[in-house]
Amino acid sequence: MKVVVGLGSCGIAAGGNKVLEAIKSEVENRGIHVDVKKAGCIGMCYLEPIVEVIDDGGNKTTYVKVTPEIVKEIFENHIEKGNVVSEYVLSEEDRSYIEGQKRIALRNCGIIDPESIDEYIESGGYKALEKAIKEMTPERVIEEIKISGLRGRGGAGFPTWFKWNATRIAPGAPKYVVCNADEGDPGAFMDRSVLEGDPHSVLEGMAIAAYAIGAERGYIYVRAEYPLAIKRLEIAIEQARQRGFLGKNIMGTDFSFDITIKAGAGAFVCGEETALIASLEGERGMPRLKPPFPAQRGFMGKPTNINNVETFANVPWIIKNGGKAFAAIGTEKSKGTKVFALAGKVQRGGLVEVPMGIPLREVIFNIGGGIKGNRKVKAVQLGGPSGGCIPESLLDTPVDYESIVKTGAIMGSGGMIVMDETTCMVDMARFFLDFTQKESCGKCTHCRIGTKRMLEILERICQGQGEESDIELLEEIAMNVKEGSLCGLGQTAPNPVLTTLKYFRHEYEAHIKDKKCPAKQCKALISYRIDPEKCKSCGLCARKCPVGTIKGSKGQPYEIISENCTKCGTCLEVCRFGAVVVE
């Protein structure tokens, strides 16, 4: 009998460590033999903590939202008596969350112990590296990646083989391999989950890349806010060295390669490859002009290949199964699968991996389960603060690089934030621009000043002080920032503004002309009142009001003294009769 506990960051945050201790305590107190294991996140973050019970015949039962109290029931009934506690078992509806996916980059996440190299090897790990260095030439490895059609999963979607080949043929030595794990998009956690759940796949992918380009040294640039990912990477690197998968003369060959971790300070701009290189060199993380590209002159002025976590995680699967197998998935120009962090107003939030070409609507409704509270979907923000907003009318857009760009958004690294009818699109654009403006390194004027001026206009509109000329001014500044900025941060920062202006211009006009927020979210443009016909005079709203601005007496409708109201929304939340109205 085996019991597996999901201990990714989401599982730990939901109480996974307490569940693990409860399981160990039950095993010890009952004096029974149960193999207790941990795994990373399987992707169903909304159901954590997750515990799987696997009997001696290999039959698996998945329990969700497990607490220490539930652990006791599982042991009493399932472990000792063989009776499944159906009340806590993963439902068929939720099972579709996993069954609707195609998992390549996430193939081991939530299944193997991320701190056990033996379990990774048992799943076929390091077979691809052995095949590459013992049976293939570096040129053949690059050709296999070319056949696969793998494109960089960090955002730009540049052909992976081309970057590898450019680094290989570039003059100069030594050459370097760098893994970009500086995941900074709000709501994105794809790289973190792979590093926490299957770190060896990334190490193996990097080693294969190093063999292909002729590098002996690699670096993983991971943000310091990911302590669990760093810890598991450190364990995996040490295990790989001890087993001979990293270090000198790997697997008895002439190939040598080792990896060092660099913890970044959390600057969003360091996700841009030249700024990352500057930070890796000990300088301030600021972008550099291209060309020369990193493949020509990168880390320490030497040829450097940079790919992100998801890209490297796909490489062992491709080498092991063949480039044609990967190319058979997806669309003509966008091959394979893509990992997304599904977040926002969706029912089933978490990590998903789907074939390229799948419609956005299918991801949100078939896998994500639709919108919370049976509300209507309004839009989806794809690509994080550098991405754009896709309205409901375009949700049948297939998930591939070219189709997404046509909408005005970008694929990005994989953030997918779903919004419902209660989301103010002007405020959403303001939120993302506030983020990029603060994260701008300030090196170029267009980005440093342009994003600040755009943010000022958006804040003014949300406060009910917008002018009719603001829309035209926003568009003008946005295009200047887009065209004049040095790196990808500034070039894409206006995307949330431009796409919301394109698809939701009427909301901007309502804020400016009517001084109203259609979504009823901007505090300066809304007011609260109590409908006297619906008010039951229970007084709950008055008792809960933090500023005491609701007055009334028993038998009489209560009233909000508007001039004192802070518009916190507490009365709306606590009223059980729908008497509080937002206007």
pLDDT per residue over 347-367, tens digit each? 999 999 999 999 999 999 999
Please give the pLDDT value at position 62: 97
Q: Can you name the residues that pair with 390 across neighbouring β-strands?
A: 380
- For the ranges 126-130, 382-386, 488-492, 575-579, the lowest mean pLDDT is seen at 382-386
Domain positions in the chain = 2-90, 117-327, 337-420, 425-514, 527-582
Q: Tell me the CATH number for domain 337-420.
A: 3.10.20.600
pLDDT at 155 over 80: no
Q: In the predicted model, what is the mean pLDDT of residues 130-149?
A: 98
Cis preceding-peptide flag for 171 (omega within 30 of 0): no
Structure tokens at 400: 């591939």
Task: Flag whether pLDDT at 100 surpasses 90.
Answer: no
Tokens of 126: 């390091």
CA distance linking residue 278 with residue 223, whole number of Å:
15
Contact between residue 488 and residue 427 where contact means Cβ atoms under 8 Å apart: no
Q: Kindly report the number of other CB atoms within 10 A of residue 150's CB atom.
A: 23
Q: How far apart are CA 226 and CA 143, in angstroms?
A: 34
Cβ burial 180-202 (10 Å sphere, 16+ → b, else e): bbbbbbebbbbbbbbbbbbbbbb
In the chain, the percentage of residues whose pLDDT exceeds 90 is 91
pLDDT at 374: 86
CA distance readout (Å), 98 to 65, 91, 314, 389: 16, 12, 19, 26
CA distances 192 to 52, 222, 310, 551, Å, are 22, 9, 10, 50
Asked if residue 411 has pLDDT above 90, the reply is no
Q: Concatenated DSSP letters for 328-377?
A: TSB-SSSBSEEEEEEEESBSS-EEEEEETT-BHHHIIIIIT-SBGGGPPE
Do 117-327 and 527-582 have matching folds? no
Question: What is the rounded average pLDDT of the residues 192-221?
Answer: 98
User: How high is the mean pLDDT of the chain?
Assistant: 95
What pLDDT does 266 receive? 82
- Enter the CATH code of domain 425-514: 1.20.1440.230
Q: For a pLDDT cut of 70, what percent of the chain falls above it?
A: 100
Confidence (pLDDT) at 564: 87
Q: How many Cβ atoms sit within 10 Å of the Cβ of residue 545?
A: 21
- As to burial, measured by CB atoms within 10 angstroms (0-12 exposed, 13-18 middle, 19+ buried), residue 57 is exposed
Please name the helix (run of DSSP H) or strand (run of DSSP E) that holds residue 147, with its range, or none.
Answer: helix 138-148
What confidence score (pLDDT) does residue 186 get? 84
Q: CATH number of the domain at 117-327, please?
A: 3.40.50.11540
CATH class of 2-90: alpha beta
CB 523 within 8 A of CB 303: no
Q: If you compute the radius of gyration of the chain from its CA atoms, what whole number of angstroms results?
A: 26
Q: Which pLDDT tens digit goes with each residue over 32-45?
A: 999 999 999 999 99
Architecture of domain 527-582: 2-Layer Sandwich (3.30)
Residue type, 445: T
CA distances for 369 relative to 149, 362, 401, angstroms: 31, 9, 24
Q: Are strands 580-582 and 528-530 parallel, antiparallel or unpaired?
A: antiparallel
